[in-house]
Amino acid sequence: MREDIYQKFLETMEFSVEEMPTALEEWKRAADNIGLTEQDISFALNEWIPTYWDISLRGVRMCLGIYIRELIEITKVALYKEENKKIIYGISPSQAICFNAIKFAGKEEVFVSYPDFVLATVLGAFFDKLSLYCGDDSYFSDRCRHCALNRARINMSLVNVIESPDAIWSWGFYCDEGRKTDELIECLGEMQWKFIPTSLPHDSLFGEKEDKDGERVKYLAAQLKAGHEEIGKITGIEIKNKHMLDALVQHSKFSKKLDMLNKLVTNAEPQPMGGNELALFGTIASIALNVGYGQFESALDCILEEVKERIEKEEGILPKYSPKLGCHFTPLNVPWVDRMFLKNGISLTFSSHISFSKKDFMPFDYGDPYMIAAQIWLRNANSVNLGAHAQIMADMLDEYDIDGMLYGFFSFDRWLGTHQFSLKMIEEKSGIQHFYLEGDYWNDRNYRPEDREGRIESIAYFLRTRKMLKNKMNQTK
Amino acid sequence: MARAKISGKKEIVAAAFALVEQEGVEALSARRLAASLNISNMTLYNYVENIDEIKKEIIAEGFRQLYAIAYRSLESSNQNNLALDMKSASKILAEDIFDFGCSNKNIYQLMFANSVKKFREDMELKPFYSYFLQLLPKMEDKEKRKKIHKVLNMLHFIVSQMIMDKIIGIHDYSKQEFNAYVDQFVETMFNFD
């Protein structure tokens, strides 16, 4: 009898025997729905995933499975609509807290997810198939600088891989491409596409601590509440303070565990796990999951135990005291980067996009949950003015034992602007050497790995030289 | 008949690197490069946007080779248990960059001539121009770090200028002379405690 590759795939992703009959049927339908063939599944399972993901770790397999579970959920939206469930989408970057509050309020009556983000991540990171929806440049051409995630959203929407929602809450707090994309989808007029745009003026002073500016926090909190009220009007689901509090408690619990994982992995000698695997956990926690967080918590607890075990046994991905690079992008979307550095004796570690500074764990100045959520957003390095960004980044880097920071893969937007300036400030404040690689982590087809190899080798020689001297000096002390 | 395809950008960079080293950067044009690869200009532009992109790739390749040489020299000293502190490492690196410059004169000029300001400011290439900064460790004492940073920059300036002077024929330093200058600078300036 021929082996069922779909079932083997789910078994590898730690789907249980009990859930297999239903899950298998749903997975086959979901894969077909998004355009993945049996051959694609086989390629992912036998080649791509083992190359780029350390699936000897059960926690990693479980976490990969959560992405697949959420993807299956997304392909069930048409069914949920028939059942009169309300459908709410989020976009990245945004804060999962506010979206989870909607789920806490509506429970099984509402579907909440980030479909473009999940689909693009799964297709790109696990199947090398992002081209399925990023290839068509009818609406966003290559010359039009944009985030390919938005191109994927348009293309997926037009072929109903992403069903139209009751509302998409389009956060424009630091990137306004998302809501412009939603406006474009609405203008194309081929489907109902109700979006709720929310934004915050970028009018704070350079270096100002925005989380300490009461008026700004209040304004942002009001925007978040207004978003919830609008969703309430559309869906009939009332989002109360207690739902926000539930979401905040959940956020706090996972933040602490993720912070622990980041520090255990980055600061251990030898480093027990790679940057791809680390980003896997932080990334999925940055979005709302309709499938819930039970599996995620189990995966997180499992990986923490496995990492501690490796540290105790001194098992690592490279020998002790090999150079380490922090990332200012999420490496899982371009998984070859991590492995190419590894081949050159360098390990990627935490991603600052999904990590925490000491500021994140300080007590809040407010009791109101919307004010707290606003303050959390304004403590994030990427949400604030460049001066504050540099300070938060430098504070974050202080807590990690790394030899350099790797920036880049944002060639579609930010790097054309001011981050080059902030990088100099972070370097000065932290004393940590920064490197930059051109690329697009949502669509790197113009940056072939083999063309980037030379740059990565140069960075590796630079860091290995420095580390060799450091280790030698430590020996002679 | 011209080829319709090549194996990738790497093939273009290798051909451009050889062309510049043999004939100087002035010889680098789309037509010459395409001819040396036996492809049409149009095929060339399927892989690169313009000549500046090719120049950047040549510089990046130059740095890759230079950093590889430097790493191997230091590793060899390390394995032979020779003293390897910032002073000795600086001398080794200076000698490596001198050798590299002498055997890749045209490439070195493209990499380090003042006319290539935009490449020096390019975010991908920038860290590699600070050649001696790979010796600068992360340290708590920020003032001390700044001081070391300055001295390493000065060393870089002196070394670059001497090699450039030699390449363009202003002063034909022998390796012995060059090493003597570096030695004196390092012994005089590297007092950080």
User: What pLDDT, in 10s, does the model give residues A336-364?
Assistant: 999 999 999 999 999 998 999 999 999 99
User: What pLDDT, in 10s, does the model give residues A43-63?
Assistant: 999 999 999 999 999 999 999
User: What pLDDT, in 10s, does the model give residues B171-185?
Assistant: 999 999 999 999 999
Indicate whether A416 pLDDT > 60.
no
Indicate whether A414 pLDDT > 60.
no
- Of the candidates A82, A147, A118, which has an alpha carbon nearest to the alpha carbon of residue A440? A147
Identify the pLDDT of residue A149. Answer: 82
Beta carbons of B127 and A437 less than 8 Å apart: no
Candidates B67, B132, B139, B145, partner chain A, best to mutate (most A CBs within 10 A): B67
For chain A, what percent of residues have pLDDT higher than 90? 74
User: What pLDDT, in 10s, does the model give residues A219-235?
Assistant: 999 999 999 999 999 99
Beta carbons of A458 and B10 less than 8 Å apart: no
Domain B1-48 has CATH 1.50.10.10: no
User: What pLDDT, in 10s, does the model give residues A326-337?
Assistant: 999 888 888 999
Identify the pLDDT of residue A323. Answer: 96
Q: What number is the average pLDDT over the span A73-91?
A: 97
Beta-carbon contacts below 8 Å between A and B: 86
- Which residue in the set A408, A431, A435 is minimally distant from B127, CB to CB? A435
- A1 — pLDDT class (breaks 50, 70, 90): very low
User: What pLDDT, in 10s, does the model give residues B1-30?
Assistant: 677 778 888 899 999 999 999 999 999 999
Q: Please give the CATH topology (third level) of the domain spanning B59-189.
A: Tetracycline Repressor; domain 2 (1.10.357)
Candidates A401, A453, A457, partner chain B, best to mutate (most B CBs within 10 A): A457
Q: What number is the average pLDDT over the span B125-137?
A: 86
How close does chain A come to B137, measured CA to CA in Å?
7
- B46 — pLDDT class (breaks 50, 70, 90): confident
Q: What number is the average pLDDT over the span A172-182?
A: 84
Identify the pLDDT of residue B78. Answer: 80
Q: Please give the CATH topology (third level) of the domain spanning A243-476.
A: Rossmann fold (3.40.50)
Candidates B52, B56, B64, partner chain A, best to mutate (most A CBs within 10 A): B64
- Which residue in the set B89, B127, B139 is minimally distant from A433, CB to CB? B127
Residues A276 and A271: their CA atoms lie apart, in Å, by 13
Tokens of B187: 């012994």
Q: Is the ipTM of this complex over 0.95?
A: no
Over chain B, what is the mean pLDDT?
90
CA gyration radius, chain A: 22
Beta carbons of A431 and B127 less than 8 Å apart: no
How close does chain B come to A64, measured CA to CA in Å?
32
Beta carbons of B136 and A466 less than 8 Å apart: yes
Q: Which of A53-67, A149-163, A270-284, A375-389 has the lowest mean pLDDT?
A: A149-163
- Closest chain A CA to residue B66: A458
How far, CA to CA in Å, does A164 sit from each of A36, A168, A182, A193, B192?
21, 9, 11, 6, 65
- Name residues whose C-beta falls within 8 Å of residue B93's C-beta, 6 or more positions apart in sequence: B70, B73, B74, B131, B132, B134, B135
Identify the pLDDT of residue A445. Answer: 64
- What secondary structure does DSSP assign to A386-407, as a single string? HHHHHHHHHHHHHTS--SEEEE
* Domain boundary assignment for chain A: 243-476
* Domain boundary assignment for chain B: 1-48, 59-189
